[in-house]
Amino acid sequence: MKKICVVGTGYVGLVTGTCLAELGNTVVCLDVVEEKIARLRAGEMTIYEPGLETLVRRNVSRERLSFTTDADAALRDADFCFIAVNTPTIAGGAAADMTYVKRAAADIARHLTRPTVIVNKSTMPVGSGDVVYNVAMENLRDSSLSVAVVSNPEFLREGSAVQDFLQPDRIVLGSYDLAAARKVGELYMPLRAPIIITDLYTAEMIKYASNAFLATKISFINEIARICDGLGADVKEVAAGMGYDKRIGRAFLDAGLGYGGSCFPKDVKALAHMAGEAGLHPQLLDAVMKINDDQRRVVIQKLEAALGGADSLAGKTVAVLGLAFKDNTDDMRESPAIDIITWLLERGASVRSYDPEAIEAARRVLPTDGVTYCADEYDAATGADAVAVVTEWKQFRTLDMERLRSVMRDPMNAPLIDGKNLYDPEEMARLGFSYQGIGRGNGRRNGNGHNGNGHNGHNGRK
């Protein structure tokens, strides 16, 4: 059992601290925001993440997990200090703001009373390990104490973060102190996951390269979806056919409205920025970001086409189902819904919206005028001229579609823009919707009897 301090109780910090406690360690989560710590002490979750509340309550009750604003109490006897603070993009640019990281490193050093390993858990630019080490050495209360820095990037997906932590594909550790890296590795031994030990810069780069590659797959399939719409192919079948190839794989080949959230947009932009600072021209990364930005406009284009062309949105009401950037989270950061709703309002439309978890978060970032927050999906569709599905919540897959259509303004002309390809085009047409998915071929078929479920009766097996 080790004594661990996790600095920062945001998404990464709270999940990391809780799961390290679940592995049997004594963990103190430290934050400077008193309101957040007070809520956590009261048993109230500050983020929505499936399974996390249960783990927090269990480890608090077993006295393995606690929350504090007292840096001295949290840090002085810690064997490991995890830095999990925010690294936002500097306003107007692409570089990461390291202010909170430097502040955390300095606070750690000022309160240490024993040799400690500082673990960089936040996503930080390549070279940040050196920055943290230098700041720590400058602020040590006792110059005789030894400090090592280990980069341990997180690979947590919002909505499945607890599972990702406890069942990881790999653990990446980077340090110039091999003994320190191995000590951090011992924390993860109960997980029986592959452990990769590299130098600091390489570990930091693995994080950025991994997220950039996944973002590239998303932008690639979205570009293919645009082509499918133009040529009459079905991107879902294209992705399935591609996915059987082990060199490609099926993961992250779901066409939709592009990536969002706190990681992919920031990390791709930051990696492109770092490449530019090194005198390089990151052509692929630039294209990935451009495709992602353009993809969000597809919903607007399809709505305008369904309602009568350019300027047809003025005076119309659009139901937007889903506000969070993905399902199983209340995170609105870089959510496609923000741009889509903003553009709808700019075109003179009003919006009726619903999300199972993100409504309160949405109120803080969306315009105050023109947006109505509704009790459920059917309430949102009531009186709407069109419906746009923006987030892939599982409950949206099982909607009573006849009821949904019946409450729309004109059930005989019911446009449904499926931004996440949740529904079968032929079934939606049978139910009376004017349906448009992403890359589903705009309903074009070549007359050979293709039914959307495999070609010429084949079952999809090779």
Using DSSP's 3-state secondary structure scheme, residue 237 falls into helix
Cα distance between residue 200 and residue 202, in whole Å: 6
Q: How confident is the model at residue 389 (pLDDT cuts 50, 70, 90)?
A: very high
Given a cut of 80, whether residue 372 has pLDDT beyond it is yes
Using DSSP's 3-state secondary structure scheme, residue 149 falls into strand
> Residue 298: what pLDDT?
96
Number of neighbours of residue 189 by Cβ within 10 angstroms: 11
All domains in the chain, ordered by first residue: 3-198 (3.40.50.720), 215-443 (3.40.50.720)
**Could you report the per-residue pLDDT of 420-461, keeping only the tens digit for each?**
999 999 999 999 999 999 999 865 544 444 444 444 333 333
Asked whether the beta carbons of 235 and 224 are under 8 A apart, the reply is: yes
Backbone angles phi, psi at 306, to 5 degrees: -70, -30
Given a cut of 90, whether residue 185 has pLDDT beyond it is yes
**Could you report the per-residue pLDDT of 294-331, keeping only the tens digit for each?**
999 999 999 999 999 889 999 999 999 999 999 999 99
Given a cut of 90, whether residue 334 has pLDDT beyond it is yes
Q: Torsion angle of alpha carbons 4, 9, 13, 17, nearest 10°?
A: 40
Given a cut of 70, whether residue 332 has pLDDT beyond it is yes
Average pLDDT score over residue span 404-414? 96
> Residue 88: what pLDDT?
86
Spacing of C-alpha 349 from chain mean position: 28
Cα distance between residue 332 and residue 320, in whole Å: 14
**Could you report the per-residue pLDDT of 38-77, keeping only the tens digit for each?**
999 999 999 999 999 999 999 999 999 999 999 999 998 9
Sign of CA dihedral 235, 241, 246, 247: negative
Using DSSP's 3-state secondary structure scheme, residue 5 falls into strand
Cα distance between residue 235 and residue 229, in whole Å: 8
Cα distance between residue 157 and residue 148, in whole Å: 28
Using DSSP's 3-state secondary structure scheme, residue 166 falls into helix
> Residue 309: what pLDDT?
86
Average pLDDT score over residue span 393-415? 96
**Residues marked as catalytic:** 263
Torsion-angle region of 355 (φ positive above 0: left; ψ -120 to 50: alpha; else: beta): beta
Cα distance between residue 382 and residue 107, in whole Å: 54
What is the chain's mean pLDDT, rounded?
93
